[in-house]
Amino acid sequence: MSIVTPEWVRDAIFYQIFPDRFAKSNRFGQNGYPPKPTHLQEWGAVPTYHGFQGGDLLGAAEKLDYLAELGINAIYLNPIFSSASNHRYHTHDYYTVDPILGGNKGFQEFLKAAHARHIRVILDGVFNHASRGFFQFNHLMECGPESPYRDWFHVHGWPLNAFNPEHKPNYDAWWGLHSLPKLNTNSPVVREFLWDVGTYWLKQGIDGWRLDVPNEIDDDSFWQEFRRRCKAVNPEAYIVGELWGEAHRWLQGDQFDAQMNYLFARAAFGYFVGEGMDQSDTVRSGYGHIRPLSGHQFAAELDRMSNQLYDREIVLSQMNMLGSHDTPRMMTIARGDDTAVKLMVLCQLTVPGAPNIYYGDEIGLEGRHDPDCRRAFPWYDRTRWHDDLYTWYQQCIQLRHDTPALRRGDFRMMYANSNVVVYQRYYQGQTAIIALNATPHDETIICPPIFTGKLTEKLVSDGEWFSGGNTYTLPGRSARVWANGLPNR
């Protein structure tokens, strides 16, 4: 079977937005948008499990120029459908955007503004479970076993115990949480409903789906049909699954185009931060305990992820992560070490796969286990911005945009020792060499004598050449990038 993934994803730089905390507009209460509820937390307040700070899609639309200036050309939105949770993974209505976010009208305004800037948009699809407020489940609570929707869920007794925390729910629920009843995807009616949701929003103009816990719908045929129907609407729709480990089963070309590549994140933290990691919260997240890695070990893991695990089409479409709404912030794990973070970012922007930047990481936003990793973006307090880090992000993103080899090229490990990793990306005659030194010690590397290219340094202004037989000193905790066919920056 020939594997085909969306062409545009190779060139994508994703930016993940948690809608309640990214940006807030003042346009509610006018132009057809109803006023917002009054009991919102102050913007920037300490995040809580149930509090809303009022971020919305109109506010996100107003920040699209900021994202374009950063170099972003794709957005992954955490759930936007109506919900009684600030993260909106408790879906009430899959066809209605939450009114606090601006409703369907606000989403269309956001989507139109994004597309006008050539920024793609993918939505978060939460199809394993719904919520107590989901109409069909509410119907079940009201009507009991006589409800015509009883086969939409896995019910084990009556009456439903949907609220009493002293007793387990008597229906299947995600992680046993009363508020998250698991949908019965064995039911033909439920399957058709979810497939229709998938195609409905593609017809409204979205560019793909990020799928929440898709492995918990343990049914290849469900996802195969989901893919078939979505691709029939838009062959270039991107389908990426939240899969924290190796994902061969779902990445054979008949289900998902890619996974959220937490494998990369673990490896990057292991090498660039190593023993210095703050793991007090990683063990509470999907990361688990992250093993420190030497240069040799990191090189082996990069090679495995890039050349051994999956088909090349999948590798070039992976969503490469350094954090998300489900993990402590990378700046926190790195204990505020800007240099380690910069090296990780450069690696993320130069290995195969589409980088995904969690909102605020580009300015060094910190945060521990959720909800703390979901802090409001500090638009009005520039003292909290790491300006050098933001500039570094811009430079690395621009380098990727300027270098086809970094977006579409094959990957080859050139050299590694216990401290240093050097790899090559090459595509249609263009070559880029990336050298990384995560340790505090200077290292000397030698360009292989058989290397016939002549490459120019791209991260500094001296324009030093990289060519066969030459030696280079890589200072401690630094990186260098050489490439051909590009102007100096």
Render 443-473 in DSSP notation, one character per residue.
Answer: EEEE--TT---EEEESSSSS--EEETT-EEE
320: closest CA among 76, 488, 484, 78?
76
Provide the 3-class DSSP secondary structure of residue 75.
Answer: strand
Could you confirm whether 242 is annotated as catalytic? yes
Angle, vertex CA 154, rays to CA 153 and CA 160, nearest 5: 85
Computed from CA positions of residues 379, 383, 387, 389, in that sequence, does the dihedral angle turn out positive or negative?
A: negative
Task: State which H helix or E strand residue 265 sits in.
Answer: helix 262-272
Alpha-carbon distance of 446 to 467, in angstroms, equals: 9
Alpha-carbon distance of 408 to 182, in angstroms, equals: 39
Alpha-carbon distance of 6 to 237, in angstroms, equals: 7
Angle, vertex CA 322, rays to CA 271 and CA 206, nearest 5: 155
Q: How many CB atoms lie within 10 A of CB 119?
A: 21
CA 369 from centre of chain: 17
Could you confirm whether 212 is annotated as catalytic? yes
Phi-psi sector, 337: left (phi>0), alpha (psi -120 to 50), beta: beta
Among 242, 326, 361, 443, the one annotated catalytic? 242
Among 56, 109, 212, 301, the one annotated catalytic? 212
Query: Catalytic residues, which ones?
Result: 212, 242
